[in-house]
Amino acid sequence: MPGALDGIRVLEVTQIIAGPMCGVMLSDMGADVIKIESAAGDGMRLLGQIAPSESKGFHVFNRGKRGMVLNLQDADGQAVVQRLISEMDVFLINARPGVPERLGIDYESLRAHKPDLIYLENTAYGPTGPSAHRAGADIIAQAYSGLMAGDEKVDEHGGPDLITATTPADFVAAFTSTIAVCAALFHRERTGEGQKIDTSLLAGAMVLQNAFASRMPVSDAVLLDPILSGLAAVRERGGSYEEMLGARGGLRALVGGAFLLYYGGYQTSDGAIMLGCVTPANRQQVRNALGLETGDDPTDGGDFNPLAEGSAEVVAGVRALITERFAADTTENWVAKLDAAGAPAAQVNMPEEMVDDPQVQALGIMVDLEHRLTGPETMVGPPFSMSASPLAAQGASPPLDGDTDDVLVEYGYTTEEIAALRSSGAVGLPDSS
């Protein structure tokens, strides 16, 4: 059964994560994705190299694609893109604003060759505004968007301790880009019209804070404005980042402290456990499993006011009680008890061990691939499944310059033309001619 995007052709000029991951998901859905690189290759090839220009990071963010090397600084290289584009449906780019224009591969230039082209441009800050031209990366968007300060982690030097388990802004930008491409394909199918799509890391990081970032005067007057004035006071007297976090966190803890009693981690006798309660029913299930009486925790009662004097001490007292209970037994026993009670809880697994997890295996989340240069590999596969147009990893990542000639032949170039482009340096690696 072919994927939902069977027959759709995608050309990408992207690197690192946000752009390449969008290409991977389009490929998972059955699109034919061709990646264009410079002779130096996607910067990701060099992060944690395992063979020349091959890295685990590059492999996972470029599976299922064919790869070609073009010199886009060269007019002949640009002409190749313009010739290929007439047979493509989608073009992806994640360069800084202004770069596509300089290389002659901006929306206006390419749609001249393909009027119904779907052109996706992902940037750090968006195409306009005072920061549009600034350099960006995932943690820059984390910092700029408030996500990092909102995570409230400080390192031993008093600086922000960033989210390192993933690159959230990159991934969300990749997902929103892919959603937009699919929606644009649907629109083109209904109307015949292509279009330009803009996504950014900043928007991705803001989307992740959707539940907290909004301003709502009727709520903010009570819950947010005191936090803001506390923050302003610390700033006024020249306080440190850690003090600012303290001012913000202290007030936030009052508002959300009771919720976090049952939405957070505890140590057990042999490791750690995580609770994830979002409803009063969940919290009651946990109290039952822990053997807590109704009177042990007044924070879930309708009349508990988190902002009242003494509330913080009440919450701390309940936390101490829960901490003590969890410390008395093993993770496995607690997870079994909480599962039986129906409460959301899990052991804390290590990412390197997930490949062998029975649930991950049952769902078939990981896929086995064979790379042309470095052999077999297992990686996280498509992020969801579809019954009528299934997703599937289409293959491993391309070696640098791995498919240049094949792609050019397929799109009508003669062997003589290719040889000429190679010897002039417009396509391929410098020493390949």
Partner 1 sequence: MPGPLDGIKVLELAQIIAGPFCGTALADLGAEVVKLESPEGDASRRISQIAPGESKAFHGLNRGKRGITIDLSTAQGQSVAHRLIPHFDVFVTNVRPGVAERIAMDYDTLVQLRSDLIYLEVTGYGNRGPSAHRAGSDVVVQAYSGLLAGDQKVDRNGAPEPITASAPSDYVAALGGAMGVCAALFHRQRTGEGQRISTTLLGAGLALQTPWAGDVPVSDSILIEPLRRMMSEMREAGASYGELIEARRSRPNQGKAFRIYYAGYPVKDGAIILGALTPQNREQIRKALSIVNDPTDDDDFNAIGPEADAIVARVEEQIRSKLAGGTMDEWIARLDAAGAPASPVNWLEDMADDPQVVAMEMMPVIEHSLTGPERQVGPLVRMSKTETGTDRASPPLDSDTDDVLREHGFRDDEIAGLRAAGIVGSGTDD
- Footprint on residues 10-29 left by partner 1 (CB under 8 A): 16-17, 21, 25, 29
Q: Nearest distance from residue 39's CB to partner 1, in Å? A: 15
Nearer to partner 1, 79 or 380 (CB): 380
Distance from the Cα of residue 203 to its chain's centroid:
12
Q: Which 264-293 positions form the footprint of partner 1 (CB under 8 A)? A: 264-267, 270-279, 282
> Which residues from 173-212 bind partner 1, rule CB under 8 A?
175-180, 182-187, 189-190, 193-200, 202-203, 206-212
Nearer to partner 1, 325 or 422 (CB): 325
Pairing of strands 9-13, 32-37: parallel
Part of the chain binding partner 1 (CB under 8 A), chosen from 69-77, 152-160, 292-300, 418-426:
152-160
269 closest CA partner among 347, 217, 205: 347
Per the listing, tokens 């090397």 go with: 69
Q: Which of 69, 224, 315, 426 binds partner 1 (CB under 8 A)?
A: 224
C-alpha distances in angstroms, 195 versus 15, 75, 183, 304?
Answer: 22, 25, 11, 53
Answer for the pair 90, 29: CB distance below 8 angstroms, yes or no: no
33 counts as binding partner 1 under rule CB under 8 A: no
Place of tokens 């093993």: 330
Q: How far is the CB of 373 from partner 1 (least distance, A)?
A: 9
Sequence-ordered list of residues with C-beta below 8 angstroms from that of 149, at least 6 positions apart, any chain = 143, 160, 244, 245, 248
Nearer to partner 1, 50 or 308 (CB): 50
Phi first, then psi, for residue 198 (nearest 5°) are: -115, 130
Rounded least distance, CB 176 to partner 1, Å: 4
112 binds partner 1 (CB under 8 A): no
Q: Are 283 and 300 in contact (CB under 8 A)?
A: yes
Q: Which residue has the tokens 């909480």?
A: 338
Q: Which of 244, 253, 292, 419 binds partner 1 (CB under 8 A)?
A: 244
Count of positions on this chain that bind partner 1 (CB under 8 A): 170
If one asks whether residue 305 binds partner 1 (CB under 8 A), the answer comes out as no
Instruction: Note the maximum CA span of the chain.
Output: 85
Stretch that binds partner 1, among 59-67, 79-87, 412-420, 423-431 (CB under 8 A): 59-67
Q: State in angstroms the smallest separation of the CB of 28 from partner 1.
A: 10
Q: Output 388 or 416, the one with its CB closest to partner 1.
A: 388
Tokens coding 105: 């591969």
> Which lies closer to partner 1 via its Cβ, residue 10 or residue 148?
148
Q: How far is CA 391 from the centre of its chain?
A: 19
β-pairing, 271-276 with 345-347?
antiparallel
Interaction pattern, residues 62-101, with partner 1; x per rule: CB under 8 A: ----------------------------------------
What is the nearest approach in angstroms of partner 1 to the Cβ of residue 296?
A: 19
Indicate the residue among 317 and 419 with the shorter CB distance to partner 1: 317
Asked if 421 and 76 count as a contact pair (C-beta separation under 8 A), the reply is yes
Residues 316-345 that bind partner 1 (CB under 8 A): 323, 339, 342-345
246 binds partner 1 (CB under 8 A): no
Q: Minimal CA–CA distance to 68: which of 38, 45, 93? A: 38
The residue behind tokens 């050019």 is 408
Pick from 295, 310, 388, 416: which binds partner 1 (CB under 8 A)?
A: 388
Other CB atoms within 10 A of residue 296 CB: 14
Contacts of 200 (CB under 8 A, 6+ apart): 122, 123, 124, 125, 126, 141, 173
The span from the CA of 385 to the CA of 391, in Å, is 6
Residue 42 DSSP SS3: coil
400 counts as binding partner 1 under rule CB under 8 A = no
Residue 91 Cβ, how far from partner 1 at the closest point, in Å?
Answer: 14
CB of 31 to partner 1, least distance (A): 10
Residue among 313, 353, 416, 431 that touches partner 1 (CB under 8 A): 353
Chain position carrying tokens 């061709």 = 34
